[in-house]
Structure 1
């Protein structure tokens, strides 16, 4: 709510539609007007007769936009108040929304129940006993409800009136999103009626695709409310650095090295500027991995220690314990002391941490959409600008430097993303895909829910009428047979499908409910207290030193069976080797990067260091004649500049592999070792002549395509189809090969 909104509560038509008790609550809170999103959502949602998407900037009041009319509708049913299901991607967001809604709902005598692994069973049983009010839940916990209380679900959800999906963009295109679509369909099967679906998001690139995701097969019926933005001022500065070695690399015999001696000198430069720029205020800093979160959190904490100042810097990522994460969130929210969180995407979504002064991004952001979401945290106070600081570290160039380094790819990508952000563009949601891994999970889940199911029932619920519509009947039958061979399924004499020996074991494990793959993790313990967890893919040994939660620890013991690492506080420390995966870059971003390199005009939002690096990149681009040259020889490898996104580049790489050339996607280009430019041109012409892009054939020799949780249980041919549908754009790669096959080869001039 805001005092500067043009319409006051007294002359608002939407305000008059709300239950009197909700209107009184708004007055008591001192709100004088409804936001644009609320004005438009109230009449759309109050009758529970349609699906609605509310897209609005962070802090634009989306939660109230949904719940003011929803609660009004529930109150109309008194004394037999129904229920509403709020589905969130994060437990922390559920906790936050529980606190946010409880004050309002208590005044209405409507219960609010949070349901996830950290919530006491006694609270959950209150909802089981009397299923009314607001249930806040993750997809995984909803999956568990179906599996554990399948026969009770029709009764439990009989009074369900709405389903609200928060942070809708976080689900679209992912395995978790396909799981959510299936769960929503199963809810409607359990209740025997169409349930109004409400999607909330600050970042949706293509509203039509978002609507199609929310209501598969009937996206056109979804009402879309795209609320006006506040039009805040945006201040941007991108700083550029040249990579420097660590002190221990410069002085190999250094005795008793400190944490500052172990990290690159350029990292110390970034940390020093962050400390100078951010101290005394509230901010969010986004490195691109958990490992870097720990590095910067520790360095910044050490600055505070050396200056005898209270710590202002907190680590926040998904592997930390709830206690550590909540400490960081509380420090930001309470507003009584300066606090900056060094974080991953855990603070990108809508957890209420109050207003922050600025956002810092280290390296290129994962996407323009992600950058937009992050920046929505800043500039939320009236009259304050949103502030973005970018930090780009580029390698020192030498005779053997690669194309990416010479073109300063990280810096140029950051500049391109900021320009696209300013223009209002961000990546559209990527929908479609077979999602075979999640289909397997849902087959097992429905069998658990119903105590068995026939192949026909599974086909109807999941494919014919459900969200997995891209799968053919023959492939579905083949999948069921293959699951039988893997002992996931068995069939009784009546034809009923049941869990096989392995299937029963896996479904009964707590890890079953998540649709996405995750590493097994070791718990970190210090004097019996859980600090958080580390992926098992990088096990630790006794006496190793690590940094975790922005602090330094020494490993005392590692218990592989119990998956426990015992640590003690220590003065030394090296960052743990756990990192996030590389982001997928969109076509439009790469094309904007080329535009940045082509231009001669100064970029107004870069500092002197970044401007010098950009000048080097532009000079190389001109000297190498890359405006016209797309194919050249570099030593024993052919280099093809595509300037395309990763789905297309990876698609072209597998097409080349299918005819015997091994290509590597290096971002702006593909490299083909052992090939001449003539051989590559011939290969592109051969691809252009292909009439069948069947991934079953094209990926026949591909080895690294088991990516999702249940991929191992898929028939090989279906696995290839599923992988291609999620990770490749073969059709566009084929068109690109056709266009490139006619280019004239000219040597690179540098």
Structure 2
């Protein structure tokens, strides 16, 4: 199919030539097909899925009078920029058709206007779309839908928000069977799974469109002039800040990505301290900063007023910042897809080159940067594991849809099972869900507040006005610990921090937040009132948020191990820079890799240590380490401590830990994995904590209530009480079972642990007795110090050990 008149006109005005993947997408759309578009960032994916519906609408005899396109974005931060990008072709073609936003950031007035009439295209989020389903006139307003686009589908895939989107799409297809669904993704390994998840039973006549074009990518690594021989996590820290500051001045605009919000605050302040000329020209952006503050930063960057922005993943999705010339990645990205996604933020236009500068925060991250480039060359992109029928979300969705209109329970079940996630929903599970939403199940049937939905003659309807209001306020799957709002004394909101951080500070204590040095005035009713600090020294606490450490992905872990074991890979400057480290490792031990399981044994003043290198990532290593310690001490009084990083784990004891192959084989056997995990972990307590999240998604606990937010302690108490009630009076409750499954797969990565242990059982063992700590074992030894003693004492012990090791390393290198 050749481009039609309106598409031709737009591209001609822009002096652009359509790519083949764009033409293929337009052709598929015109033929009535749904599909998944997979193409590199910055090559025109948006136009590929957008211009089909636009051309169809402009070619119609009469302009559409109802909403015809829903554009679902995973982040509210993307919505404004997306709407601007979608409106641009319409305006340029002289059309009066409009694009509007409907997200949580939109004003109440604007939401009310949208309730009156929807535009031609509406940009929204999964949560806002779910909320729309609760209004009784939504079926009428959306019955003429022609297309639904899910942007950045890889970000939703494998999450409850993704499953929430699947359920919403099933509802829309019931209302408007003619709609075509298109997902957009730039970085994803399992495309077939992604398409099936997107389309459910409708995937059979769908298509996956691939771009054969490759975005030009220039990746460089900032190599430190001096590298210590025994690195540990973060020990280079901000030492390279001067070089980063100079690099900022060499480009018109930059995004400086970090992996955590705390790291963002540190690097922003350190850059300002190092180079005062950046003041007023360097922004900060992360998810805990208020929407108004983030929007101001985005607008200033778009207008070219900022030289750069230090940010987290809050800016690594599809915001089309044309001015961004380069991207700087602080620390290992921990994943190939994340590196590619962030690199694509620069040169985000057809034909432009993406430029990425990698900045290590420890020497082993040089290895990870090299391995990431190897994986990029081999196109080894991470896959997303799909979720299967989370029942807490189904309970929420049934309530959501039953508010909007009365539901025939048999027809509604068919709608639910048309999705990929719930395709295996059994009759027993469905009846349990219906019983739970109508009377609270076996344990809660005596309490009126849990009897939300009326069920009569196979029809479901939610009519209690107060409960409907509560449900609408709590729609969604994003759950986090209670946040404390940070506000200046004039009421201006700066963002939020976690309760556990702010409650440790005394009034008058300085801390950094939102790029400012602030002083705590008071904390009252979940609001921390602050003022600018007048202290002359730029010293203060840095907020720490949960989930601060990001594990290495499976694909990147394998790439690291392969880089260590294969000499045929292309030479890279990162490996040359750490050659002394690898040389010492060879002299004192051997280089660990993915082909053998290397185990090192060492004595130190702290006890005996086993260092086991799995290259499985931090979370899996934590689980396997805990399992190994349990098996090693089962039936004994010996105490063993476990520490882990992305490359392996360490077992430390004041007693004897033998370097013995049969024993090591036994503690790492894949057999009896589930039973032994349940025995060595406090799974009851872990499930209790996970149940808090499940209960909030299922609507058993409403965090948001009219005029107030529940405090964390109240939520914890309510969840714990319900957990014990279910265990005692309703032990077969499926939400309890779901909590245990989510612990195993989410927190412990049970499936991946099992795969790793099977792989280990097939590898030869390499047992090495060390006379001193090796460069690879030192980070695990250091990690343990920080976990058991104060930071000051840990640094003292570490400096003593480093002095001794460095002296021996210099002798070894000269020998």
- In 2 relative to 1, CA 709–354 (structure 1 residues): closer, same or farther, beyond 3 Å? farther
Distance 2:526 2:616 in 1: 46
- In 2 relative to 1, CA 204–233 (structure 1 residues): closer, same or farther, beyond 3 Å? closer
Deviates more, 1:311-320 or 1:445-454: 445-454
Matches within 5 A, 1:239-388: 239-240=223-224, 266-279=236-249, 281=251, 282-305=253-276, 307=277, 311-335=280-304, 337=305, 339-380=307-348, 385-388=353-356
Matches within 5 A, 1:641-656: 641-645=613-617, 649=621, 652=624
Indicate the RMSD between aligned Cα atoms, in angstroms. Answer: 3.8
Displacement of 1:684: 3.7
- In 2 relative to 1, CA 499–542 (structure 1 residues): closer, same or farther, beyond 3 Å? farther
Contact 1:88 1:165 (8 Å CA) reproduced: yes
Distance 1:701 1:503 in 2: 36
The aligned residue for residue 438 of structure 1 is: 393
The answer to whether residue 80 in structure 2 is matched with residue 95 in structure 1 is: yes
Contact 1:291 1:577 (8 Å CA) reproduced: yes
The aligned residue for residue 529 of structure 1 is: 492
The aligned residue for residue 668 of structure 1 is: 647
1:68-105 deviation line (CA, Å, top 9, x unaligned): 11111123444251511000112221101222222332
Q: Give the match's secondary structure for 2:133.
A: helix
The aligned residue for residue 405 of structure 1 is: none
Distance 2:47 2:572 in 1: 36
Matches within 5 A, 1:561-710: 561-571=525-535, 572-579=538-545, 580-599=547-566, 605-606=572-573, 611-617=576-582, 619-620=584-585, 623-625=588-590, 626=592, 628-634=596-602, 635-636=607-608, 638-645=610-617, 649=621, 652=624, 666-672=645-651, 676=658, 677=660, 678-685=662-669, 687-688=670-671, 701=683, 703-705=685-687, 706-707=689-690, 710=693
Which residues of structure 1 form unaligned runs of 5+? 1-12, 245-263, 395-407
Distance 2:311 2:367 in 1: 23
- In 2 relative to 1, CA 459–653 (structure 1 residues): closer, same or farther, beyond 3 Å? farther
1:343-378 deviation line (CA, Å, top 9, x unaligned): 011110111211422211111104110110111122
Displacement of 1:481: 5.9
Distance 1:464 1:664 in 2: 45
Contact 2:42 2:347 (8 Å CA) reproduced: no
Distance 2:514 2:548 in 1: 20
Displacement of 1:639: 3.9
The aligned residue for residue 154 of structure 2 is: 169
Contact 2:219 2:358 (8 Å CA) reproduced: no
Contact 2:403 2:463 (8 Å CA) reproduced: no
Contact 1:554 1:573 (8 Å CA) reproduced: no
The aligned residue for residue 254 of structure 1 is: none
Deviates more, 1:222-231 or 1:485-494: 485-494
Paired residue total: 688
Distance 1:501 1:694 in 2: 47
- In 2 relative to 1, CA 198–522 (structure 1 residues): closer, same or farther, beyond 3 Å? same
1:482-504 deviation line (CA, Å, top 9, x unaligned): 65335673276848777799993
Distance 1:14 1:196 in 2: 20
Q: Give the match's secondary structure for 2:137.
A: helix
Which residues of structure 2 form unaligned runs of 5+? 635-639, 701-733, 772-815
Distance 1:265 1:623 in 2: 22
Displacement of 1:585: 2.7
- In 2 relative to 1, CA 737–453 (structure 1 residues): closer, same or farther, beyond 3 Å? same
Displacement of 1:715: 3.4
- In 2 relative to 1, CA 630–440 (structure 1 residues): closer, same or farther, beyond 3 Å? farther
The equivalent position to 2:372 in structure 1, one of 417, 440, 448, is 417
Contact 1:641 1:670 (8 Å CA) reproduced: yes
Contact 2:241 2:271 (8 Å CA) reproduced: yes
The aligned residue for residue 513 of structure 1 is: 475
Contact 2:327 2:342 (8 Å CA) reproduced: yes
The equivalent position to 2:2 in structure 1, one of 4, 10, 14, is 14
Contact 2:83 2:123 (8 Å CA) reproduced: yes
The equivalent position to 2:740 in structure 1, one of 720, 724, 735, is 720
- In 2 relative to 1, CA 181–695 (structure 1 residues): closer, same or farther, beyond 3 Å? farther
The aligned residue for residue 137 of structure 1 is: 124
The equivalent position to 1:747 in structure 2, one of 750, 754, 768, is 768
Displacement of 1:531: 1.9
Contact 1:153 1:190 (8 Å CA) reproduced: no
